[in-house]
């Protein structure tokens, strides 16, 4: 009933003068529906945003180069290409060639813990942040895990130096913070997503690629996204076998991705989230076929 009334309110099929004035009950229901929608969008954006202590939200600042490995060559290529399309659609700069040096790596394995151990032994740099400190790796349950190598950039775009002795970043940029902006921001230098093959049963390459893209490009965590309650591709690996999953990125997902990469990079997190909420709302209000 709420969706019917809301759709009727937004319709422009007839001139306003030709419509009878809504009664008080209809007006109240419409206001409540809009309020519930705003609350749902706000909850979704908050659930997908990485905690930042009001620093700017982390995202890639360099050209993105996704790469999928561990399935058949054809599937790896299909997932890689789909992730490149998602990145471009989200407003992220994509490396012009597929043969680029990957900084968003998606690996498929029989056991994620075993894969992590083998990967760390051979490529320890993927487990370090931009200044050589240990990357923060979440303790994720379920068939997937993702983490990011994170660095800091100052307002001029330069890497912020790390004082290893005092274990803190040292900002030397002459551009100072203000009430609306920060002097430095966290940036993703690289992302790793490991997915166990058993979790792929019944999923398409598009679903897998879109899930991996949201994890790699935004840092969103499925457990937090589930708490937000909105439909999202981030739930496809953990859903019940008989549940109906999105076939691809949802409008909610795309709105978040686009919003994250259009925000003012040095704005405070609360201001950035407001921009993302507006973009999610725009995506939700677009007509769908």
Boundaries of every domain in the chain: 2-285
* Closest to 153 (Cα-Cα) out of 181, 128, 188: 188
> Distance between CA atoms of 230 and 121, rounded to whole angstroms?
39
If you write DSSP's letter for every residue of 107-137 in order, what string do you get?
EEES-HHHHHHHHHHH-GGGGB-TTSSBP--
Q: Is the pTM of this model over 0.85?
A: no
Give φ, ψ of 112 to 5 degrees.
-70, -35
Distance of CA 78 to the CA centre of its chain: 20
Helical H segments across 11-146, by residue range: 24-48, 73-89, 112-122
**Sequence-ordered strand ranges (E) for 206-245:** none
Roughly how many angstroms between the first and final C-alpha of the chain, as a whole number? 21
Q: What pLDDT is attached to residue 162?
A: 60
Give me the pLDDT at residue 22, please: 56
Encoding tokens for residue 168?
């803190």
- Residue ranges, the chain, pLDDT below 50: 1-17, 19, 25-27, 29-31
Cα→Cα distances 206→38, 85, 236, Å:
29, 11, 11
* pLDDT attached to residue 228: 72
Radius of gyration over every alpha carbon of the chain, rounded to an integer in angstroms: 21
Could you read off the pLDDT of 192-222 as tens digits, one per residue?
999 999 999 999 999 999 999 999 999 999 9
Rounded Cα–Cα distance for residues 13 and 3 (Å):
17
pLDDT at 17: 44
- What span, in angstroms and rounded, lies between the C-alpha atoms of 98 and 117? 27
Write down the pLDDT at residue 164. 63
CA dihedral 105, 87, 40, 247 (to 10 degrees): -80
Q: Which residues of 197-208 are buried (b: 16+ CB within 10 A; e: fewer)?
A: eebbeebebbbb
Nearest to 239 by CA among 197, 193, 191, 203: 203
Reported as a single tens digit per residue, the pLDDT across 232-255 is 999 999 876 667 889 999 999 999
DSSP 152: E
Distance (Å, rounded) from C-alpha 94 to C-alpha 86?
10
pLDDT for 238: 84
Q: What are phi and psi of 20, to 5 degrees?
A: -70, 145
Q: Is 146 helix (H, G, I), strand (E, B) or coil?
A: strand
């Amino acid at each position: 009933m709420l969706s019917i009334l809301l759709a009727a309110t937004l319709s422009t099929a007839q001139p306003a003068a030709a419509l009878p004035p809504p009664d008080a009950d209809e007006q109240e229901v419409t206001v409540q529906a809009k309020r519930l929608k705003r609350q749902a969008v706000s909850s979704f954006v908050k659930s997908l945003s990485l905690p930042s202590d009001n620093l700017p939200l982390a995202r890639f600042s360099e050209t993105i180069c996704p790469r999928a490995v561990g399935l058949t060559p054809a599937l790896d290529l299909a997932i890689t290409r789909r992730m490149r399309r998602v990145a471009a659609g989200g407003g992220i700069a994509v490396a012009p060639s597929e043969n680029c040096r990957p900084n968003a790596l998606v690996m498929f394995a029989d056991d994620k813990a075993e894969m992590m151990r083998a990967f760390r032994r051979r490529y320890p740099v993927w487990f370090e942040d931009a200044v050589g400190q240990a990357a923060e790796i979440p303790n994720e349950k379920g068939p997937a895990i993702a983490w990011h190598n994170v660095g800091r950039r100052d307002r001029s775009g330069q890497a912020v130096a790390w004082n290893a002795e005092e274990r803190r970043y040292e900002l030397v940029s002459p551009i100072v913070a203000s009430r609306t902006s920060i002097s430095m921001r966290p940036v993703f230098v690289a992302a790793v997503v490991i997915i166990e093959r058993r979790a792929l049963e019944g999923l398409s390459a598009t679903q897998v690629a879109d899930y991996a893209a949201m994890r790699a490009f935004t840092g969103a965590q499925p457990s937090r996204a589930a708490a937000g309650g909105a439909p999202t591709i981030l739930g496809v690996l953990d859903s019940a076998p008989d549940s109906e999953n999105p076939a691809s990125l949802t409008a909610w997902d795309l709105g978040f991705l686009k919003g994250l990469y259009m925000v003012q990079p040095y704005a405070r997190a609360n201001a950035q989230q407001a921009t993302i909420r507006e973009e999610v709302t725009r995506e939700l209000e677009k007509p769908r076929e």
